[in-house]
Amino acid sequence: MKLQARDAEAFVRKPRPGIRAVLLFGSDAGLIRERAKAIARSAVEDLSDPFRVATLTGAQLQEDPARLADEAAAIALTGGRRVVMVAGAGDRLAKLFQGFLDDAPGDALVVVEAGELAARSSLRGAFEASEIAAAIGCYADDARALHGLIEEMVAEAGKRIVPEAVSWLADNLGTDRMVTRGEIAKLLLYKGDEATPISVDDCEAVVGDSATLFLDDAAFAAFGGDFAALTDALTRCESAGESPVAILRVAQKHGQKLHLAAAQTEAGNRIDPARLGVHWTRKAGFERQMRQWSAARLMRALEILTDAELTAKSTGMPAAAACGDALLRIARAARVTR
């Protein structure tokens, strides 16, 4: 089943009964990931539950095609429906998914993330032609959609925003849904318990400031294995008053983009860093890092960053030490070839 753009949000909120598999593709990696999680949560509320959620990559399915049917047919030890999430899918997996959709075992919900797929893509065709599957295109927000997203997030936080601030954000935020949500969340955190509406001054004080560039520098230096640049970036972050947790979260976002790019590459697809929200000035460095890292090693790096954030929040270890240690470990790992 092919979903039109106007029907996508309603489907994501409440997938149609009988749907066994959903393909998410397009240029907006953040929106793809956001919708994938939302659809998966329609079947399993806690996506960290190892008994009910299986996570695979396109490369893993190429090596072991039987994994798809095995995971879809498996029964959760704790009961309930299972979800199988597949990242980095491409046309090389079209025959595998065509066979699965022709005779889908079990009752698991399969959520598949891909990058850009042409209209004649065989993978898209398999999902669009099936009565038990859906294919959803995910592209950068237009002005109207971006306005709606801003107002929705502000309202959900119980706050207000002046129209001029909405317009300012729409003009200054990027087109990647994941990055956009991160910037708005940062703005809401900055506003705190203040009852006054969010103003243009508030936006200018938080969104796209120079400290954010320092955070990006730290992430790029760590995943690039550049110890000198990492030390310099961390020093500048500290001087700008950025918290270690904020540094870790920006590094996590960078790692997630790299992981998606690596998974796509390993699946035989080409991906333009600009489609992931990478600024053109960072393109060459990002592509070098794509060659340095494999999807499997990036998953381990993301685990290190997540563990560091938990350590910074819940133990007696200084947050700055936990952050610095995690980024140095990743920088050392970056020196190791794929």
User: Does residue 122 share a domain with residue 61?
Assistant: yes
Domain boundary among 108, 138, 168: 138
Residue with tokens 């797929």: 117
| 3-state helix/strand/coil string of 250-281 | HHHHHHHHHHHHHHHHHCCCCCCHHHHCCCHH
C-alpha 289/C-alpha 312 separation (Å) is: 27
What's the pTM value of the predicted model, to 2 decimals?
A: 0.54
Residue 299: CATH number of its domain: 1.20.272.10
Segment 170-222, tens digit of pLDDT: 777 766 677 678 788 889 988 988 999 999 889 888 876 445 667 888 999 99
User: Does residue 132 share a domain with residue 172?
Assistant: no
User: Does residue 124 share a domain with residue 165?
Assistant: no
Domain boundary among 115, 138, 161: 138
Is residue 55 classed exposed, middle or buried when 0-12, 13-18 and 19+ CB atoms within 10 A define those classes? middle
> Distance from first CA to last CA of the chain, Å, rounded?
38
C-alpha 164/C-alpha 200 separation (Å) is: 7
| Phi, psi at 58, each rounded to 5° | -60, -35
| Low-confidence spans in the chain with pLDDT less than 50 | 209-210
Domain count, the chain: 3
Give the per-residue pLDDT at 175.
63
User: Does residue 30 share a domain with residue 96?
Assistant: yes
Residue 50: CATH number of its domain: 3.40.50.300
Give the per-residue pLDDT at 24.
96
Give the per-residue pLDDT at 210.
46
Domain boundary among 182, 206, 230: 206
Segment 135-175, tens digit of pLDDT: 999 887 667 778 888 999 999 999 999 998 998 887 777 66
Range of the domain at 154: 143-206
User: Does residue 217 share a domain with residue 194?
Assistant: no
The per-residue DSSP string of 180-222 comes to HHHHHHHHHHHHTT--SPB-HHHHHHHTT-HHHHHHHHHHHHH
User: Does residue 258 share a domain with residue 301?
Assistant: yes
C-alpha 271/C-alpha 202 separation (Å) is: 35
Give the per-residue pLDDT at 6.
79
